[in-house]
Amino acid sequence: MNAAVLGIIGLVSFVCAYRFYGRYISRKLFDLNDLDQQGIQTPANELYDGVDYVPTNKEVLLGHHFSSIAGAAPIVGPAVAAIWGWLPALCWIVIGVIFMGACHDFGALVLSMKHKGQSMASVSEKLVGPRVRTLFLVVIFFLVWMVIAVFALVIANLFISFPSAVLPVNFEIFIAIMMGIFINKKKGENLLIPSLVAQGMLLVMIYLGTQYPITLSAWFGDNQLMVWITFLMIYSFIASVLPVSILLQPRDFINGHQLIFGLGLMILGLLVGQPKVVAPMINTQANGAPDWFPYLFITIACGAISGFHGLVSGGTSSKQVKKWKDALPVGYGAMLGEGTLALLATLAVCAGFKSSAAWHSHYSSWNAANGLSAKIGAFVQGSSSFIGSLGIPEEFAQTVVAVLIISFAATSLDTACRIQRYIIAEFGESLKIPHSNNRYLSSAIAIGSAFLLMLSSDGAKGGLKLWPLFGATNQMLAALTLIIIVVFLIKNKKPSLPYLIPCLFLMLITSLGLIMNIRVYISGNNTFLTVIGIILFIAQLWITTEAILAISKARKEA
C-alpha cells in the first residue's frame, strides 16, 4: 500500500468534512450566519477591553488556536496505537476527527461565545447546575496532572534517545525570551522579520546540535532520566510563575512556525518519496498489548478528540472571534489540522521503516525497547525518512523532527503547569485555604504532585502505564463538554444527535477503559494508580448520572 495514497484520502476527507458537515453544523445547529446577518455582536466586539476580549482576524486567530491545541499528543497517541495496525488507527483518526473531535471543539467555542466568552465550567453551571461545574474542575485537575507527568517523561526520554536535540531545544528558550522582550517593546510592529530570524537561528542550532550532541550518561549513567526529569520540573516551575508574555506566548509563536515548517516538509516528502506501508493492516501479534477495544480510542486520544481543546475553545479563543461565522474555521478547521498531524504521525510509524521485519522488531511488544519512548522514536525516524526523500541529510532531518516533538511537548508542559496552578488556586479559594492563590505555592504543589505520579509509574516504561489513563481522562472531559452542548441544543429545539451519539460513545469507551486500567494496576500491585483509576471511575459514573438527569430535564423544558 502506498502511504501517499492513504495520506491523500485522509486529507481529501478532511476537506470534504469542512465543506459539508462543518457548514451543516454551523448553519442548522448554531445559526451562525443568521447571527451575523442580524448584527449580533460576538463577545470580542461587545466586551472589547484590549486585553482578553480582542476582535481578531480569523487567519491570525486560527494560527493561535491551532498552536494552542496542537501539542505532542496527536503524535504520541498514533505512534503508540500503530501497534494494532495501520487500518484501525487511520479509520479512527479520520472518522473521530470529522464527527467527534472537530464537532466538540467547534461546539465548545460557539457555546462559550453565546455565553459572553465564559469557560465551559461556568457555562455548565448555567445550563445544568453547580454540581457539573465541580465535576469539571475535578476532571480537569486529574487530566492536567497526568499531562505534566506524561510529557515530562516524553521529553526526558527523547533527550536521551536524541541527544542532538538537547542544544536547539534549550536554545529555543533563550530565543523565546528574546522574542518576548521584543514583542513587549515593539507592540504593533510587524513580526514577520523577527520570526524568520528566530527560525533561522533555530535551524543553525539544529545543525550544531547534530554536530555536537549532548548526553548526560557520562556523568549520571543510568540516573540520567531522573536528572532530566528534575531539570524539567525546575523549568516548569519557573515557566508557570513567569508572565505569559515573557516565555509562554513567544514560545507558542515560534512553535507555530515550526509546526508549519515541519508539516510542510513531511507532506512534501510523503508525496515525493511515496513510501510503502510496511506495517500490517491489522496486527494480531501485538504481544503484551491490551485489547484494541477500547484502548485504541483512548490511546490515540487527542489525535481524534480531546477534552483539553474545550478548555482552549472556551478560554482564550472565544474572546477573540471577530465574526460568528469565523468560529467554523477556528473551531472545526483547527481540529482538522490536528487530525492532519495525527494522520502523518500514523503514516510515519507505519511507512518509515525499511522493511516489514524492521517494523515488527520495533513493535514486537507493548513494552519493547523502553515502551513509550521507542514508539515516539519510531515517529522521529519515520518522519525523517520522509524528509530525507527531499535530499535533506537524514541525521539533520531526525534532529528537526525530534526538536519539533520536544518543543510541542514542552509547550503542553508549560501550559499544563500554568492551568494546574489556576485549578489548585480555585479549589483552595472555594475551601478557604490560606495562601492558596499564591502562584509560587500552587505551582510547587502542581509540579510536586506530578513528580510523585511519575515516580509511581516506573520511569521510562511508565509512560505506557499513564498514557491510557491520560487518554481516558481526556475523553471523559470531552464527554462532559458534549453533554453540555447536547443540553443546549435540546433547550433551543435543535437536532442533538450529532452531539448525543459522540457523547454516548465516549462515555462507553472511557468507562471500559478505566475498568481495564484498574484491573491492570491491581494485577501489577500499583496501589497509587489503582486509587487514581477508582476515583476517575467514580467521576465517570457521576458524569453518566448528570448526563441522564440533564438531558431528561432539558427535554421536559423544551
The answer to which of 110-119, 197-206, 479-488 has the lowest mean pLDDT is 197-206
The reported pLDDT for the residue numbered 452 is 82
Section 545-554 average pLDDT: 85
Q: Of residues 64 and 402, which shows the higher confidence score?
A: 402
With a pLDDT cut of 90, the percent of the chain lying above it is 37
Section 276-299 average pLDDT: 89
Collect all residues with Cβ–Cβ distance below 8 Å to 102 and sequence separation of at least 6.
17, 22, 331, 332, 333, 335, 336, 339
Residues for the chain: how many in total?
Answer: 558
The answer to which of 350-354, 381-385, 401-405, 417-421 has the lowest mean pLDDT is 417-421
Residue 303: which pLDDT band, with cuts at 50, 70 and 90?
A: very high
Instruction: Please say if the pLDDT value at position 439 is more than 70.
Output: yes
Q: Which amino acid is at 453?
A: L
Question: What is the CATH code for 3-557?
Answer: 1.20.1740.10
Residue 12: which pLDDT band, with cuts at 50, 70 and 90?
A: very high
Residue 503: which pLDDT band, with cuts at 50, 70 and 90?
A: very high
Q: Which amino acid is at 75?
A: I
**Sequence-ordered alpha helix ranges (H) in 307-438:** 307-313, 327, 334-351, 356-362, 372-388, 394-430
Section 54-71 average pLDDT: 79
Instruction: Please say if the pLDDT value at position 463 is more than 70.
Output: no
Residue 458: which pLDDT band, with cuts at 50, 70 and 90?
A: low
Query: Cell 481526556 sits at which residue?
Result: 474
The reported pLDDT for the residue numbered 460 is 44
d(CA 372, CA 353): 18
Residue 424: which pLDDT band, with cuts at 50, 70 and 90?
A: confident
d(CA 356, CA 367): 19
Q: Contact 27/40 with Cβ under 8 angstroms?
A: no
Provide the b/e sequence for 308-325 (b: ≥16 CB within 10 Å): bbbbbbbbbbbbbbbbbb
Q: Which amino acid is at 430?
A: S
The reported pLDDT for the residue numbered 140 is 86
The reported pLDDT for the residue numbered 189 is 57
Residue 371: which pLDDT band, with cuts at 50, 70 and 90?
A: low
The reported pLDDT for the residue numbered 183 is 66
By the 10 Å C-beta count (0-12 exposed, 13-18 middle, 19+ buried), 546 is classed as buried
The reported pLDDT for the residue numbered 188 is 56
pTM, rounded to two decimals:
0.87
Instruction: Please say if the pLDDT value at position 456 is more than 80.
Output: no
